[in-house]
Amino acid sequence: MSEELIARIEGHANIKINVKGRKLESIKLDVLTPPRLFEKLIVGRHFNDVPTIVSRICSICAASHRVVSVIAIESAFGVKVREEAKLLRELLLHGESLQSHGLHLFMLALPDYYGKNSFVELATDMPETVSLGFKIKGLGNEIQQAVGGRAIHQIIPIVGGMSAVPSREDLKAIKDKAEPLIEAVAEFLKQIPPMKSSSLVQVKNWVSLAGNSGSDVLINATELTGIEEFWQRINESSLPPSYTKHTLLENEPFMVGPLARMLNLPSLPTGRTADLIERLGVAKDRSVYMNNLARGLEIVIFLEEVTAIINKLLEMNIPEDGGILVDVIPQASKGVAAIEAPRGLLLHSYTFDSNGYVTAGDIVTPTALNLAEMERGLGIMAEALLKEKADIIPELETLIRAYDPCISCSVHVVNL
Amino acid sequence: MGKPKAGFYSLTSCSGDILEITNLGEDILKLFDLVEVVHLNVAMPSTGKDPDIAFVEGAVTSMEDEEFLKALRKKVKQLVGIGTCACTGGVIARGPEDRRNWLTDVYPESGAGFDITFPRPLKDIVTVDFSIPGCPIEKKYLLHCLGYLLKGVLPEVPAYSVCMECKMKGNECLLRYRSSACLGPVTKAGCGARQPSLGRPCDGCFGFYDDANKESLIEIFREMGLSEDEIKKRFDLFLERGL
Ligand code: SF4
Ligand code: SF4
């Protein structure tokens, strides 16, 4: 029996393995960050306070929580926000993904590829690589700061639109930094060495939003289903001492996140992305480790989209004083919304009374959706490795990091 | 004398304050030059060494959090709370003290077995040498405080409210001209009036300022037409125990 606190992930978790001789008896991933009961905290709250509260579920994907919560509320009240506000929100979310992917790929995952203990060690041998990571993360934060008002726990997205508008200078400065990074990251990705035992754990089922619809999910690149229907089909359970729930889709674990999004791409894109997908083998290989490279690939894609969105915004010539807002009239209703957060599908649902106060809330986060799949992967890996050696913890930790759990957000509720 | 040993620890939180430390970008490598970092879970495996100075984010919400914090206190010369959860309990320290019903509603099969308590700030459990508020902490404010703390001196911090910073920025007052329920008048300065500068009322995340005149702000909110319940909820977002 061995127990370790996993480093280089967000929050606290343990892998608990029971081994008899060289045989695996059981394996469990315990989330140790206690529940904060957000769905209960928002009951009785005015809709305006909800995005501020729920963004505190997670600092790494605070923008996703804030934006999806705002969209769920807008859908409850039938609010149609302006096109410019939608574009700004999209830009903000790309900023968040750049910061999150930059942090994960360069600071948390890459040391595994080069046999290092941490990015600080990596910085001694490969300073340019670590510095590239900092540039991506830094740009992501700059976008969140300019468009969201802060790098963490953004302020500007509110129900009805955006309360402030970034200056043209800020937008141009972001574009100037994004453009040269596209090529630099694409080149760097081609040099990442392959990971040992990478074919061992293959993803069996995967789920992501279908395109930019925001209303349907795609399962295993073939099955299309509505968000609310999907929500009803998943079921969850929890056992102490782990503080989080394990999610299954018709009794099967499934994966969400960058690799799931890549495997669900409707058709192979063209140009640089297609070339990279081919070179990295992301579409062919369903190894969980590919989640790291899929993250790298998304950095390239998001950087391209950031420049495209900024070009559009600059053409629109939005006045810089004041926000982009439409009127909001609360009504008794329910609103559901889904979004692709950096780590995958994120679902929020609220019910309101006629004055706009919450009567019930439900939130399902990507890490919670992924936990059962993580245990499945860990089991396969442990069983195979135990045949060869006794100390398998480092490999298991590496696998966990490829899944990229964000434990602070895994604590959530469903089925109230 | 070697470099001071510093550790960064998380209790129950969104990890935002530790993330904000990684957001220092390449400056974080300078931090690694100035101090020997013995623990920063998000970035490296723990060295197992005891720190001289510990920075702790998050609220205390379980016996495990509590024991960890007490043990840490015994090992260190200075203990610094970072972020609003560590300072006042934060956004999660709302609602009823007894959360057993919440737990069993949310986790029907297992909730009764969970060992959690009402979220408490660090100072409810141990002696805290200094607190750096903010949800999350402000990088500039953090660096300012680190500079002092690493020399073993308590930092100098502003003794006025967010309103003062707001006026220094030349913002148009939201409370006065847009009837927006801003908590700036009762909130400690340090964020540079972040929200009012972006057209949003202050939510009070830095905590009450020492000479806060709550009564007069409540009177203004009443005159603006807010109900007693709305006023209570307004104060009950980040401010310690609200009203
Ligand atoms: S907007 Fe808020 S913080 Fe600024 S002066 Fe008015 S009351 Fe004070
Ligand atoms: S304006 Fe108020 S809520 Fe916003 S960061 Fe400053 S103290 Fe916190």
User: Measured on CA atoms in the order A121, A124, A125, A129, is the torsion positive or negative?
Assistant: positive
Contacts of B65 in chain A (CB under 8 A): 34
Q: Which residues of A192-226 are buried (b: 16+ CB within 10 A; e: fewer)?
A: beebeeeebbebebbbbbbeeeeeebbbeeeeebe
pLDDT for B47 = 75
Protein residues with CB under 6 Å of any ligand 2 atom: B 162, 187, 191, 193-195, 202-206
Structure-token match 């847009």, residue found: B178
Say how far apart CA A169 and CA A175 lie, in whole Å.
Answer: 10
Residues 32-71 of B with CB under 8 A from A: 32, 41-46, 61-62, 64-65
Structure tokens that stand for A306 in this block: 């950031």
- Asked whether residue B220 carries a pLDDT value surpassing 50, the answer given is yes
Residue nearest (by alpha carbon) to ligand 1 atom 8:
B163
Residues 92-131 of B with CB under 8 A from A: 92, 94-95, 99, 102-103, 105-107, 109-110, 113-116, 119
Structure tokens that stand for B43 in this block: 């970035």
pTM confidence score: 0.91
- Type of residue numbered A99: Q
Q: Which is more confidently placed, B15 or A212?
A: B15
Say how far apart CA A102 and CA B34 lie, in whole Å.
Answer: 25
pLDDT for A409 = 45
Structure tokens that stand for A282 in this block: 């992301």
**Partner residue facing A118 (CB), from B20, B43, B107:** B43
- Centre a 10 Å sphere on the Cβ of residue A117 and count the other Cβ atoms it contains: 13
Nearest chain A Cα distance for residue B109, angstroms = 7
**Partner residue facing B62 (CB), from A34, A56, A164:** A34
pLDDT for B152 = 83
Q: A34 vs B29: CB contact, 8 Å cut-off?
A: no
- Centre a 10 Å sphere on the Cβ of residue B106 and count the other Cβ atoms it contains: 24
pLDDT for A403 = 82
Structure tokens that stand for B103 in this block: 């737990």
- Asked whether residue A25 carries a pLDDT value surpassing 50, the answer given is yes
Structure-token match 């949800």, residue found: B135
Strands B78-82 and B130-132: parallel
Among chain A residues, the shortest Cα distance to B194 is held by: A149
Contacts of A408 in chain B (CB under 8 A): 13-15
Phi, psi of B109 (to 5 degrees): -80, -30
pLDDT for A312 = 97
Say how far apart CA B74 and CA A352 lie, in whole Å.
Answer: 48
Report how far ligand 2's centroid is from the alpha carbon of A332 (Å): 31
Report how far ligand 2's centroid is from the alpha carbon of A130 (Å): 33
pLDDT for B3 = 85
With beta carbons less than 8 A apart as the criterion, state whether A348 and A54 touch. yes
With beta carbons less than 8 A apart as the criterion, state whether B131 and B83 touch. no
With beta carbons less than 8 A apart as the criterion, state whether B7 and B36 touch. no
Q: Which is more confidently placed, A158 or A13?
A: A158
| DSSP code, position A96 | H
Q: A5 vs B92: CB contact, 8 Å cut-off?
A: no
Report how far ligand 1's centroid is from the alpha carbon of B239 (Å): 16
Touching check for B153 and chain A: CB below 8 Å?
no
Q: Which is more confidently placed, A198 or A48?
A: A48
pLDDT for A415 = 26
Specify the ligand 1 atom closest to the Cα of B167. 5
pLDDT for A244 = 58
Highest mean pLDDT among A7-21, A23-37, A334-348, A364-378 belongs to A334-348
A210: helix, strand or coil: coil
| DSSP code, position A156 | S
Residue range A191-226, pLDDT digits in tens = 888 776 667 888 999 999 997 667 899 999 999 999
pLDDT for A7 = 45
Q: Which is more confidently placed, A61 or A95?
A: A95
Q: Which H/E stretch holds residue A334? A: strand A333-341
Residue range A69-95, pLDDT digits in tens = 999 999 999 999 999 999 999 999 999
- Type of residue numbered B126: V
Specify the ligand 1 atom closest to the Cα of B162. 3
Q: Which ligand is nearest to the CA of B161?
A: 1
Report how far ligand 2's centroid is from the alpha carbon of A54 (Å): 16
For chain B, the average pLDDT equals 89
Residues sharing a CB contact under 8 Å with residue A183, sequence separation 6 or more, in sequence order: none
Say how far apart CA B151 and CA A43 lie, in whole Å.
Answer: 46
What are the Cα distances from residue A107, in Å, to A131, A196, A330, B40, B72? 10, 19, 44, 12, 27
Q: Span A311-326, mean pLDDT?
A: 92
What are the Cα distances from residue A129, in Å, to A108, A120, A367, B19? 13, 12, 28, 20
**Partner residue facing A408 (CB), from B14, B26, B29:** B14
Contacts of B41 in chain A (CB under 8 A): 5, 7-8, 12
Q: Span B114-136, mean pLDDT?
A: 91
Structure tokens that stand for B62 in this block: 């379980």
> For residue A75, what are the β-bridge partners?
none
Among chain B residues, the shortest Cα distance to A414 is held by: B106
Touching check for B26 and chain A: CB below 8 Å?
yes
Residues sharing a CB contact under 8 Å with residue A372, sequence separation 6 or more, in sequence order: A246, A247, A248, A253, A254
Specify the ligand 1 atom closest to the Cα of B172. 1
Confidence of residue A412 (pLDDT cuts 50, 70, 90): very low
Confidence of residue B223 (pLDDT cuts 50, 70, 90): very high
**Partner residue facing B43 (CB), from A52, A119, A141:** A119
Structure tokens that stand for B99 in this block: 């959360």
Q: Which ligand is nearest to the CA of B203?
A: 2
Specify the ligand 2 atom closest to the Cα of B203. 3
Residues 167-196 of B with CB under 8 A from A: 194-195
**Partner residue facing A238 (CB), from B46, B105, B107:** B107
Say how far apart CA A405 and CA B15 lie, in whole Å.
Answer: 13
Say how far apart CA B170 and CA B163 lie, in whole Å.
Answer: 10
Confidence of residue B200 (pLDDT cuts 50, 70, 90): very high
**Partner residue facing A239 (CB), from B95, B102, B110:** B110
Highest mean pLDDT among A208-222, B35-49, B205-219 belongs to B205-219
Contacts of A238 in chain B (CB under 8 A): 107, 109-110
What are the Cα distances from residue A330, in Å, to A140, A348, B201, B230? 34, 18, 20, 16
Residues 78-97 of B with CB under 8 A from A: 90-92, 94-95
pLDDT for A314 = 96
Output the 3-class SS for chain B: CCCCEEEEEECECCCHHHHHHHCCCCHHHHHHHHCEEEEECCCCCCCCCCCCEEEEECEECCHHHHHHHHHHHHHCCEEEEECHHHHHCHHHCCCCCCCHHHHHHHCCCCHHHCCCCCCECHHHCCCCCEEECECCECHHHHHHHHHHHHCCCCCCCCCCEHHHHHHHCCCCCHHHHCCCCCCHHHEECCCCCCCHHHCCCCCCCCCECCCCCHHHHHHHHHHCCCCHHHHHHHHCCCCCCCC
What are the Cα distances from residue B155, in Å, to A235, B82, B145? 50, 14, 5
Outline where DSSP puts E strands in A32-180. Answer: 157-158, 161-162
- Type of residue numbered A336: V
Q: B14 vs A12: CB contact, 8 Å cut-off?
A: no
Touching check for B12 and chain A: CB below 8 Å?
yes
- Asked whether residue A410 carries a pLDDT value surpassing 60, the answer given is no
Q: Environment class of residue B150 by beta-carbon count within 10 Å: exposed (0-12), middle (13-18) or buried (19+)?
A: middle
Among chain A residues, the shortest Cα distance to B102 is held by: A40
Confidence of residue A240 (pLDDT cuts 50, 70, 90): low
Say how far apart CA B70 and CA A113 lie, in whole Å.
Answer: 38
Q: Span B188-193, mean pLDDT?
A: 96
Percent of chain A with pLDDT over 70: 87
Confidence of residue B67 (pLDDT cuts 50, 70, 90): very high
Say how far apart CA A290 and CA A282 lie, in whole Å.
Answer: 6
Residue nearest (by alpha carbon) to ligand 1 atom 5:
B163
Nearest chain A Cα distance for residue B130, angstroms = 23
Confidence of residue A159 (pLDDT cuts 50, 70, 90): very high
Nearest chain B Cα distance for residue A104, angstroms = 10
Contacts of B203 in chain A (CB under 8 A): 52
| DSSP code, position A95 | H
Q: Span A297-318, mean pLDDT?
A: 95
Strands A333-341 and A324-325: unpaired
Confidence of residue A2 (pLDDT cuts 50, 70, 90): very low
Residue range A244-283, pLDDT digits in tens = 567 888 889 999 999 999 888 866 666 777 777 777 777 6
Q: Span A387-393, mean pLDDT?
A: 77
Q: Which ligand is nearest to the CA of A154?
A: 2
With beta carbons less than 8 A apart as the criterion, state whether B83 and B136 touch. yes
Say how far apart CA A250 and CA A356 lie, in whole Å.
Answer: 35
What are the Cα distances from residue A324, in Å, to A51, A89, A145, B83? 17, 11, 17, 31
Q: B194 vs A150: CB contact, 8 Å cut-off?
A: yes
Residues sharing a CB contact under 8 Å with residue A141, sequence separation 6 or more, in sequence order: A95, A99, A151, B23, B25
